[in-house]
Each structure stands twice: as C-alpha cells, then as structure tokens.
Amino acid sequence: MNKRDFIKLTALAAGMSSLAPTALALDFGKMLNAGAGLAKSASISDDELNAYFDQMTVQYDKQNKIADEKSAYGKRLQTLVKGLETEDGLKLNFKVYETPEVNAFAMANGTIRVYSGLLDLMTDDEVRYVIGHEIGHVKAGHTKARIQTAIRTSALREAASATGGNVSALADSQLGDLFEKVIRAQHSQGNENEADDYAMAFMKRRSYNSKATVSALEKLAKISEGSSAGWLSTHPAPAARAERMKNQLA
Ligand SMILES: [Zn+2]
C-alpha cells in the first residue's frame, strides 16, 4: 500500500473520532472552568474511574465494527489471547475492530482492542508483542492516571456528585472527549519504554518469540516514514524503541 492510500484509509477509519473534536473542544473549555475547584480536592475511587472506562468501552464498541468471533479476524485474535483473560492479576477482554487503521489500545478497565489493519500487518508473535505492550499500559496505570487528570479538570465529576454519589451516565459527546484525551493522546516516551519492557518480559515469560518485539517495531518504523497515524500517533519513536528491544533480547 502506498503512503497516500495509507493516509486516506486511516483518515476514513478515524472519520468518526476526527469529526467530533472540533465541536467537543468548546464543551470541554466550559467544563474546565466550572469543575476545576471542586474536582481537584476530591479523591476519585477506582470503581468510579472504571465506571467511566466501562461507559467509554460501550460507546466505542458501538461506533466500531467488531469482528465476529467466528470470522477470520475474530478467531485469530481469540486464539492469540487464549488464557490471557486474567493475566498478571488483571481482568482483560479483547476484541477486533474491523478497520484498516494500524492501531490497538487499552483502557484501565481491562478493555483491549486490536484493529484489523494491525492484524493484517503483523505476524502472530508481533501481535502478541502489541498485546503485551498494551497490557503493560494497563498494569502500569497509564490510562488511569490520564483519566484522573481529565476528570479533575472537567465538570464531569460535579455532574456525578449531583446525582447522589453514583457515577452518572455521561453524554456521548463527553465520552468522545474523554476518549480523545485519555486514549487517543500520545503516550510519553517514559510510558512507552515501560510498556515495551513489560511486553519483552511478557514474551519471555510465555515463551513467545521475543524477536517479534523488534520486527513489529521495525514494521511500524517503515510505515511511519512520512506518516504518524494510528498506533504511531499514540506510540511514538518506533525505530529507537526497536533498538531498545534488540538490547534486551539476550
Ligand atoms: Zn504504548
């Protein structure tokens, strides 16, 4: 696939989420002023955070085409993640989004989604690296830290408190905005290295081919020439990361 086609397909795949932010940015600005005082002083429980992630999961699953478990994509992923439902003390659930975008993401509530574009690009062990990397983000609490910040600086929590302490159902626009800030925002290099180190240990622990960490990142580096869409927009610097993984192979 040439670069232009890749960008076009990615833009198509990301259509829904890239249309929304302009309208949502306005909302969020208002919420920021309204909620900052109250939310900063209050602690946010894990249950509450997970309730927001659960709502985001339901909404995003609705917006994307989920591969049937009997389809080729569905079967392949289920085979790759068999036995990982309670990996490392986490409760995980996996699905494929049928979209050509080369992407995958995880949320603190254990939701892990892999896009069919990534499955098409990668071998089984390379997909296992990506899954291990995403589990690493969950284990290290990276998306949890982000949603805490997003909620603290918004009025979402004020709305929740007003309903008597229960977590209120957020509007689609609020969930979409949280998704942009918590899932589609770029991870820091520190977070990336931490998730990569976790993925390397995961590959070794389960006796998968750990060289796939390097080849997966090299593939991503190759398609990133001139473009940084999909997984690359949230997971930067694949070439440097491939080098880091190479040094951990022994
Ligand atoms: Zn990452």
Q: pLDDT tens digit string along 150-189?
A: 887 776 666 555 555 567 788 888 888 888 888 888 788 8
C-alpha 235 to ligand 1 mean position (Å)? 5
Bridge partners, residue 75, by sequence: none
C-alpha 68 to ligand 1 mean position (Å)? 26
One DSSP character per residue, 180-191 reads HHHTSSPPPHHH
Distances (CA, A) of 105 to 94, 98, 138, 152, 247: 10, 14, 10, 23, 25
- At residue 58 the predicted structure's pLDDT band, cuts being 50, 70 and 90, is very high
pLDDT score, position 229: 67
- Check: pTM over 0.85? Answer yes or no: no
Selecting among 87, 101, 126, 134, the annotated active-site residue is 134
Q: Between residues 25 and 235, which one has the greater pLDDT?
A: 235
Residues 6+ apart with CB under 8 A from 209: 125, 203
If we measure between CA atoms, which residue out of 144, 129, 119, 99 comes closest to residue 211?
A: 129
C-alpha 133 to ligand 1 mean position (Å)? 6
pLDDT score, position 153: 75
| CA distance linking residue 30 with residue 248, whole number of Å | 47
pLDDT digits (tens, 9 = 90+) for 4-36: 444 444 444 443 333 333 333 444 444 444 444
Half-sphere exposure of 31 toward its Cβ, with a 13 Å CA cutoff?
Answer: 20
Active site annotation includes 134: yes
Angle, CA 32 vertex, CA 29 and CA 35 arms, to 5°: 145
C-alpha 166 to ligand 1 mean position (Å)? 32
- At residue 209 the predicted structure's pLDDT band, cuts being 50, 70 and 90, is very high
pLDDT score, position 133: 97
